[in-house]
Structures are given as structure tokens and as C-alpha cells.
Copies of this chain bind each other. A is one copy, B any other.
Amino acid sequence: MRDDHLITAKQLSREDVDAILDRAAEIDADPAAFADRHADAILGLLFFEPSTRTKMSFETAIKRLGGDAVDMGTVESSSVKKGESLADTARVIEGYADALVLRHPSQGAAKMVGEFVDVPLLNAGDGAGHHPTQTLLDLYTIRENAGLDDLTIGIMGDLKYGRTVHSLAHALTNFDADQHFISPESLKLPRSVRYDLHETGANVREHTELEEILPALDVLYVTRIQRERFPDENEYQAIAGEYGIDLETLEPAKDDLTVMHPLPRVDEIAPEVDDTDYATYFEQAHNGVPVRMALLDQMLEDRQ
């Protein structure tokens, strides 16, 4: 397997992460300097699941580097319907592109495809598995707003199923961060993830109430609690209400608290928060572009 595939954030050292985030900051400071970097590059998009943010920001990223994308389209409009295997689809499309981006509902899909293709592959989410570019844009947003060292971060909501959260928590162990996990008992971090974090020596604590820790936080990362996890609608409503935030909830927070969310949100953050300086979730989504530009730029540069 090529060693420039990006399958999981775990494969990135602190130095790798710093290099990517530094380049993203360079791009943010002077995007015009990168506008013709990869004029002949074509990025192949294989999205086997709906996606707005990730797909559009990859497409924007390659176009802002002067290149272009070719898109497999939805599964319904592709050969997948005729029974083609994922490996075959990827091996065909790699012939059209200089790099591939894959989103797939099955955990492990990116690693498997990585064994077959000869162009660099970027994992854009494989089910309950990994989504490394989300982690990188989260780190970039934290670095730009609160700094990655001497950081106190709270991560709240669905900590059991959220792959975003597990990946971010692991990546933060490379930095000097105190991590606080806030959730109902039923949505706590899985034992394996907690064990993994403790192994690295990370400073990790769990809470059931946001107010216990809110005043100490530099960053509050809120995640979506998925209605479909709850057999009972009332239970969902109660928990969603308790782990959502509004202006009142945020009163005890530091003035310079950074509130993040991977989006889409449903009711976890009240719209009234949007107009405050806390709100960093749209900036976070927009950071997908410079971060993915940085990654693509590095990847396409390396293979020349």
C-alpha cells in the first residue's frame, strides 16, 4: 500500500499535523499564491453516501488550487447498481484521476481500497471508522482560535457513536490538552476509546453536567445527538434539551470561549448563539477548504 494514502488521523505524527496546519495557514493568508499550483490535477470523488460539506469542500479545494474534479455521482446513477465491487469501481476511476477521495458507509472501506489503487487515496469517512480530514480541520480551528497548547477543551453530546469525537480526542493527545467529556451515561465514550486515551497519558475527565466544567473551558465542542439512537422520543427530547446550549447556558463561560460543532446541527446550539463571538462552527466548516488544499497540495507535490 502507498504510504501517502491518508486513511486515519492516527497515522499522522505531531510533526505531520503541524506541517499540514502551517500550510493551511499560509493558504489562508495568501490564497492567490496557490491559485495555479496544480492546474493539470484531477481529483476523483467517490461518495457512496450523501455529503454536502466534505464533498463540496474537497471540490472547492482542488479548484482553488487550479485543478478540477470528476465525480462518480450518486450510487443510484453509477455502475455500482450493476453489481460492481468497490475495488473494481476504484480501480477504474483511478485511471481518470491524480488522487482519489472516498466516502463509504462501511468501516474499513478506505483501507481496503487503499490496497488496490496506485494513486493517493484520501479517506473522507468510512462509516463508524475514520474521517481524518475532519480531525485536521478541527485541529486547525482550535489552533487558530484557542491554540493547541495549554488547552482545556470540553467535548459534549454523543460520545458513544461519534467518530469525529474519537478521532479528535486521539489527535489531541499529541498536544498539551486537558480533555473533558460531557454526556449522559447512555452516550459515554466507549470503554475502548477511554482506554486508548489513558494509555497515551492524556489528561482526560468525564462529566454528566456541562456546568461542572464550563467556566474552565477554552473550547466547547458540541456534537449532534442522533434521534435515531433513542427508541423513545421523550427520552431523546429530554437528553437533547439537556445537552444543547443557548445564551443562558453559556453565561458562566469565559469571554473568549470557542464553540465548535461539526455540523449539521439540529437543536444542539440555539440560533441566538450564532451572532456571538463564541460561534466558530461556520468558520470551522469553512476551514475545510484551506486544510484540504494544504493536504492536496502536499500530496500532489510529493508525487511529482
Contacts and interface: CB of A to CB of B under 8 A. Distances in A.
Interface of A: 32, 35, 39-40, 42, 44, 47, 50-53, 55-57, 59-60, 63-64, 68, 70-74, 76-84, 87-89, 91-93, 95-97, 263-266, 271, 282-283, 285-286, 288-289
A56 B266 CA distance: 32
A63 B70 contact: yes
A274 B210 CA distance: 55
A52 B84 CA distance: 11
B83 A60 contact: no
B285 A97 contact: no
A72 B81 CA distance: 20
Contacts of A53: 79, 92
How many copies of this chain sit in the oligomeric assembly? 3
Contacts of A286: 92, 95-96
B79 A282 contact: no
14 contacts: A42-B63, A51-B79, A52-B78, A52-B80, A52-B89, A53-B92, A56-B70, A57-B96, A59-B70, A79-B263, A79-B264, A95-B282, A95-B286, A96-B289
Given A50-B79, A64-B42, A264-B79, A289 B95 contact: yes
A237 B180 CA distance: 57
Contacts of A95: 282-283, 285-286, 288-289
A292 to B, nearest CB: 11
A81 B50 contact: yes
Q: Which of A40, A44, A78, A96 has the most CB of B within 10 A?
A: A96
A172 B265 CA distance: 44
A40 B50 contact: no
Contacts of A285: 92, 95
A86 to B, nearest CB: 11
Given A56-B71, A95-B286, 4 more contacts: A47-B77, A53-B79, A84-B263, A95-B289
A52 B264 contact: no
Contacts of A84: 52, 263-266
